[in-house]
Amino acid sequence: MANRGGFSMKRALGVSKVKSKISRATGIPLTKSGRQRKVGKMVTGGCMLPVLFFLIVFSALLSIIA
């Protein structure tokens, strides 16, 4: 028999559904990892290439100045 997961009081009472609706309505995740992921995407634009490009240019400028 396949594992169907365990019983969750929060899901049974509808807490998970309410939290999900709040997150979707406000656009702000309620979990710590979700907020960190959102901030990371806002800072880098969802990609690390602009950050890497900036670091390379910045380090090149420092080597020229020094």
- Domain range list for the chain: 9-65
**Res 18: pLDDT:** 92
Q: How far, CA to CA in Å, does 34 sit from each of 18, 24, 29, 58?
A: 16, 12, 5, 30
Phi-psi region of 11 (alpha: psi -120 to 50; beta: other; left: phi over 0): alpha
pLDDT at 2 exceeding the cut of 70: no
> Which amino acid, residue 22?
I
Residues belonging to the chain: 66
**Res 55: pLDDT:** 86
State pLDDT tens for residues 6-40.
888 888 899 989 999 999 998 889 899 998 888 87
Assess contact for 35 and 29: CB atoms under 8 A.
Answer: yes
